[in-house]
Structures are given as C-alpha cells and as structure tokens.
Amino acid sequence: MNADLRLYLTAARDVAREAADLVRRHRAEGVSVRVKGGEVRELVTTADEAADELIRARLLALFPDHAVMSEETAHAGATLDPETPTWIVDPLDGTSNFAHGLPVFSVSLGLWWQGRPLVAAVCEVMRDWLFWAASGQGAWLNGQPLRVSRETEALHAVLASDWTHSPERRRLATHLFARFVLRGHAARSLGSAALGLCYVAAGWLDGYVNLGLDPWDAAAGVLLVQEAGGLATDARGQPWTPAQEILVATNGPLHATVLSWLEEVWEEEG
Ligand code: IPD
Ligand code: CA
Ligand code: CA
C-alpha cells in the first residue's frame, strides 16, 4: 500500500472509532432529538451534531487541503469537486434506530478523489466493529478479510433495503421489498445503509438496495462491497457515484436479477 493511502486509512479508522466512542457516551448520558428540515420522519440528535463536529475538526487538522462533506454541516445540494480529495461523512448513520434506543447504527467515512473511493471506515458503534477498506487492498472487519457470499439462486438470497424519506420512493421500495420477501429467502431492513453495505461485504446479506440515498449514506460502504468482490451500481448497472440516489449492491451473481426486479417495479409502479 502506498504511503498516502496508508495515512488516509489510519486516519479514517482512528477518527471513526473516536466518533463511535463519542456517540456511545452520548447514548449513555442521554440525547435530545428533534425533527430535521420539516420532514417529520427525518430526525437529528445532539449526538449526530457532536460527532459531525469532531470528525470535521480531526480530518481538517490532519489534511488541511482536503474537503469534508459531512451530513450535518453539508450545504443542501452540495456537489463534489473531483480534483479535491473529499471525505464524505455520515457522523451517525441509523439515527432513527439511535433515537428509538435500537442499538444498530454506525459512523461512516469515505475518502473520494477523481471519481473513485480511496479508503473507507465504518464503525458499528454498539459492537465496536470496525469495517474498513482501501482501494486495491481488500475489505476487512477487525483484522479479518471480508468476502461477499457465493449465492447464485435468488430463492436462497437474504436481501435488504431501507426506507427513504421521500413518500414516493418509499412506496416503490415496498414493492421491491415484496419481491425480496416473495421471491427470495428473506428480506431485512436494518435502518443503516452503511451497515447494510458492510453486511453485503461480509457475505451476511446477499444484496442491499436503497432507492433514495444521500452521498454520505454509501460513500464508504460501496468501497467495502467492491473490495470484498461484490458490485455496487446505480439502477442501470453503472458504477455507483455519490451523485446517484439509487444504489444496488450485491455479491455479483445476483446483480442482474435484482436489477431486473427494480426495473419491473419501475415499469409497474413508477
Ligand atoms: C438513513 C439510513 C437509512 C436510509 C435513509 C438514511 P441517517 O440515514 O441510512 O437506512 O434508508 O435513507 O437517511 O439519517 O440515519 O443518517
Ligand atoms: Ca445516513
Ligand atoms: Ca446521519
């Protein structure tokens, strides 16, 4: 691994862990929850904001010439400058779970440059599981290499999706989810897109689809999926980029099937 990549990876892992510690402390001490931006289902807590502040401060101190796009301080509609290395950060992914006491949420950091992810770290906060990947260096969980599943049959597949904030996309997602339930082995909804992607990388899920992502939800997870041997694309099968709202991530053999189900849903319900 070249020296720069090693430096970025070390920073991503250290900062993700430090932010996860902070989120755990906030959970223990109590947080205040409020609705964000007028959308009744979109919540933000004091832990999201504190983690955002900490991560930004750490990354900009380490890399003053990099940019940071972090959910709680990003401008609406902010776009990436591909020539500036940019940390795309979700300081707390799974805020609905967090606010309801459900212990499934993560801190997610991905560094992108020239249209590609370079390093990624996702910390599953309550288990202290650190998922990470670096371009060309594989995907890892707490020092163990990760590999996507080998499943080829949709009927045996465990597939996951989550619920977006847009009511229209939610409706479409229910139709896709129904296909996962009726045509696959089982369907899951974890409430953290970043963790859904890490679980695909680990081979615990065979696929994960989200129909309404923001860049920070998947900027780290897609590198984990790719480095573990899977595919992460938009609805047409093109490599996912942070500008895409739709993400289809699978182990590879199941990709065409899942894309075809999405197309069916779009034609019938869209
Ligand atoms: C949410 C989660 C959820 C996804 C939503 C996201 P947040 O992120 O990733 O799984 O379906 O679209 O907004 O708000 O908890 O950071
Ligand atoms: Ca998120
Ligand atoms: Ca978040």
Q: What is the pLDDT of residues 72-115, one digit of tens each?
A: 998 766 778 899 999 999 999 999 999 999 999 999 999 999 99
C-alpha 191/C-alpha 176 separation (Å) is 16
- Domains of the chain listed by start with CATH number: 3-145 (3.30.540.10), 154-269 (3.40.190.80)
Closest Cα to atom 16 of ligand 1: 93
C-alpha 258/C-alpha 245 separation (Å) is 17
Which one of the ligands is nearest to 194 CA? 1
Cβ–ligand 1 contact at 192 (below 6 Å): yes
Write out the residues surrounding ion ligand 3, Cβ under 5 A: 71, 90, 92
Measure 175 CA to ligand 3 centroid, in angstroms: 25
Residues 201-242 pLDDT 10s: 999 999 999 999 999 999 999 999 999 999 999 999 999 999
User: For the whole prediction, is pTM greater than 0.85?
Assistant: yes
Measure 95 CA to ligand 3 centroid, in angstroms: 6
Is residue 133 within 8 A of residue 110, CB to CB? The reply is: no
**For residue 33, how many C-alpha atoms fall within 13 Å in the half-sphere facing its CB?**
13
C-alpha 118/C-alpha 182 separation (Å) is 37
Tell me the best of 205, 217, 247 to mutate to test the pocket of ligand 1, counting ligand atoms within 8 Å of each CB and taking the most.
217
Nearest atom in ligand 1 to the alpha carbon of residue 190 is 10
Cβ–ligand 1 contact at 257 (below 6 Å): no
C-alpha 115/C-alpha 228 separation (Å) is 19
Which one of the ligands is nearest to 217 CA? 2
Which one of the ligands is nearest to 210 CA? 1
33: which strand partners? 45
Residues 105-152 pLDDT 10s: 999 999 999 999 999 999 999 999 999 999 999 999 998 999 999 999
Closest Cα to atom 5 of ligand 1: 164
Between the alpha carbon of residue 82 and those of residues 112, 183, 199, the distances in Å are: 8, 40, 28
- Whole-number pLDDT of residue 136: 97
**Average pLDDT along the chain:** 95
Nearest atom in ligand 1 to the alpha carbon of residue 210 is 11
Residues 176-200 pLDDT 10s: 999 999 999 999 999 999 999 999 9
Closest Cα to atom 12 of ligand 1: 164
Which one of the ligands is nearest to 73 CA? 3
Cβ–ligand 1 contact at 72 (below 6 Å): no
- Whole-number pLDDT of residue 108: 98
